[in-house]
Amino acid sequence: MKHTDYFNNFLKNTVNLSQFNLDTLAGRVDSIYAALKADPDLGPRIIKKIPQGSWAQETIISPQNDKPFDADFLLQMKEELDWSDNVQEYINAVYHVIHHHSDYSDMPHSRKCRCVYVEYANNQMHVDIVPYVILSDGTQVIINRDAEQFETTNPSGFTQWMKERDKITNGNLRRVIRLLKFLRDHRNSFTGTKSILITTLLGEQVSEWKKVSDPGYYSDLPTALLHMISDLDQHLQANWTKPSIADPSNPTVNFDHRWTQATYSYFRDRIHSHAAEIDSAYHETDEETSIQKWQDLFGDKFQAPKTSSSSTKFGDAGAAGGIAGGNEPLGTSSSGRSGRAG
């Protein structure tokens, strides 16, 4: 059975990052950006900021207890010809401002391979600032500080690709991604698989023709979950060894370095198990048995909503701190209750 109301409640109150945390994140990104723009040397080199990763794609989830949530944003900078022989200077310039700024100098901060990070009190959240440049020939790059070279990228293109796939599923792709990330982070399943791999692999399973042959293929969250994980399982079972995974927005780039054969094999086995568990819970005709099967997968917080009051958790209206979103229809479960989709 579907129990769509349980899924909606579970997303709102357990899986999704709270609106308070989303607002906090957006405010802190704005403050960091304002500090960088105000610097007399760095400010004129900055063009704009661009939300990145799970924050921009609306797949961010609540972290495990005592672990931080984070956000990435691209800091688009002008191409500096004087730095062409020392591309680390893009990262160094950002770090210099953070390191000497009165608001951030006493906070944990440092340079990583492709970014500068700022960590907030008690490690509750951190922000990654990723310098990003469009070169004179139109090539989009970020900086690999360790290799001392540019890396070709198309981050906005990847987000756009993901949102196009999400639209095909009536917004259910992003919810299924959140559920898989919950299984990884909170249920210790397929640990070590990066979010960008989950997003790419699931997005690749989505297609318009599946809706043509079955208009209800992505009609609600549990149905979309059933079909997407089943399709992903079939794809993975056909590949014993780690397949090459191209960036769908830039086929010359791949994500193969993001995992090993061992990590892939573990992910493949876990998805195979989850596909069977989801199929069993979805097609179970006894209501209580079906609920128990869903709880065996997601945990005891997979519950029916107690009230119809509006949730304070991250839904899809005002998603990702206002990056994108919109009002959505109510979903109805097979057990006769209803709830708003998250």
What does the pLDDT read at residue 307?
67
The three-state secondary structure class of 316 is: coil
Residue indicated by tokens 């698989």: 193
CB 4 within 8 A of CB 302: no
Q: Residue 75 has what pLDDT?
A: 98
Domain locations in the chain as residue ranges? 4-16+157-340, 19-154
User: How many angstroms separate the first and last alpha carbons of the chain?
Assistant: 19
pLDDT at 252: 86
Query: What pLDDT is recorded for position 322?
Result: 35
pLDDT digit of tens for each residue in the chain (342 aa)? Answer: 999 999 999 999 999 999 999 999 999 999 999 999 999 999 999 999 999 999 999 999 999 887 888 889 999 999 999 999 999 999 999 999 999 999 999 999 999 999 999 999 876 899 999 999 999 999 999 999 999 999 999 988 999 999 999 999 999 999 999 999 999 999 999 999 999 999 999 999 999 999 999 999 999 999 999 999 999 999 999 999 999 999 999 888 899 999 999 999 999 999 999 999 999 999 999 999 999 999 999 999 999 998 644 444 444 433 333 333 333 332 333 333 223 235
Give the separation between CA 97 and CA 77, rounded to whole angstroms: 14
Tell me the HSE value of 289 on the side-chain side, using a 13 A CA sphere. Answer: 7
- Measured in whole angstroms, the distance separating CA 236 from the mean position of its chain's CA atoms is 21
Ramachandran region, residue 338 (left: φ > 0; alpha: ψ -120 to 50; beta: rest): beta
Report how far residue 20's alpha carbon sits from residue 319's, in angstroms, rounded to the nearest whole number: 12
Fold of 19-154: Beta Polymerase; domain 2 (3.30.460)
DSSP class of residue 137 equals T
Please say whether the beta carbons of 125 and 24 come within 8 A: yes
pLDDT score recorded for residue 319: 37
